[in-house]
A and B are shown apart, each in its own frame.
Chain A
């Protein structure tokens, strides 16, 4: 499916060490654990499944795909506005923008042309810069094809969720590898189904949304989301 050069690029961009601030986001894992809803490896598998299937695949992936195919900066910004409008939870929106802007910042410093143009556009648009939209911009600059961009997007989410669970003490490092393995199977199945060109972004992950939304109210918090 991917040639060696692309596979190597995937390893670089999909690496948890890629410096885009991913380690500071738990996307609900911290809140779910704090509320006793996430206690072991099996719970984690369930939430990773939920994240991938009911949010990433129907929302992030759709936005990423549309942004990837967008003709110009204005069209990308329009999709970014859709991302903003389609995310009811304010802390989730803020997290998505912070993660997106961090990723964009790295690409700008590496000289990505589209990234530089998009960052200029974001200077006067504080509500834009959502992660999936920025992923399209950055991975286009990186020369990744849409399928490769989708793969990195899904994988970095999985990695973020699982490593947050390790740092919260929910699972150990060996269990983490098992969690990644099951998540790979879920992701592979989703990616095998191509995106419909007219798909609209949607998600239904109420527990995760509530966990992220309550984040700011928690006195003890290690993660941005």
Chain B
């Protein structure tokens, strides 16, 4: 974590939390679960999406009725989902700065990466904290492949726990191996379909990102 940033006028900048992970692992579903949970705890929130070829995710969140649509920004990635969050995250930084200008009280900006592969990681200049979402149905060998996304994120989320019995995945073992490759850094299990495990993610954001007790 790069910690809290200062901007002009000594206003404390919003914390920026990245959400990366392979295509379809449930990043947007997690955002849709996090929004009401975070708002419910009185956290002033905005969202940025990096859609690959459409504004599909941005539109889905805007239409969800969960958050003021003006608080959702879309950044085009020019077919480079890696680049736009790591080598050249300038457009995301500008979008986040712009949200802060328009909503001066905003405390937390969630930034969903376009669906990518296990090598994607966020620039330290873009996010203060980032999570990586993989899902059970992608296979229980995903943690063993030791992709930089899986290894280096601040929080690994294993989503779609409900699917474990259907795809022959031993959830406990997958969790264990994820912890092992990450030297016991945080791994949380979620079922975004039912909203299970979301509280733990929110708790971690409150504690480790927003420094609320």
Listed in ascending order, the chain A residues whose CB lies under 8 Å from chain B are 17-26, 98, 101-103, 105-106, 109, 120, 123, 164, 167-168, 219-224
Contacts and interface: CB of A to CB of B under 8 A. Distances in A.
B91 to A, nearest CB: 4
A19 B89 contact: yes
Nearest to A103: B90
Interface in B61-117: 75-80, 83-84, 87-91, 93-94, 97, 101
A17 B90 CA distance: 12
B9 to A, nearest CB: 10
Nearest to B55: A221
Nearest to B52: A222
Contacts, number: 67
Nearest to B77: A24
Contacts of A22: 88
Given A221-B76, A224-B78, 20 more contacts: A19-B87, A20-B88, A21-B90, A21-B91, A23-B83, A23-B84, A23-B88, A24-B75, A24-B77, A26-B78, A101-B94, A102-B90, A103-B90, A105-B97, A167-B79, A167-B80, A220-B53, A221-B53, A223-B76, A224-B76
A142 to B, nearest CB: 16
24 contacts: A19-B89, A19-B90, A21-B84, A21-B88, A23-B84, A24-B75, A24-B77, A24-B78, A24-B91, A25-B78, A98-B91, A101-B94, A102-B91, A105-B93, A105-B97, A123-B101, A167-B79, A219-B54, A220-B53, A220-B54, A221-B54, A222-B79, A223-B79, A224-B78
Contacts of B212: none
Contacts of A19: 87-90
Contacts of B77: 24, 222
Contacts of B75: 24
A124 B89 CA distance: 24
Contacts of B8: 120
A160 B52 CA distance: 18
Contacts of B54: 219-221
> What are the 10 A-B residue pairs with the smallest beta carbon separation, nearest first?
A24-B78, A19-B88, A21-B91, A102-B90, A167-B79, A21-B90, A222-B79, A224-B76, A23-B78, A223-B78
A98 B79 contact: no
Nearest to A223: B78
B87 A222 contact: no
A170 to B, nearest CB: 12
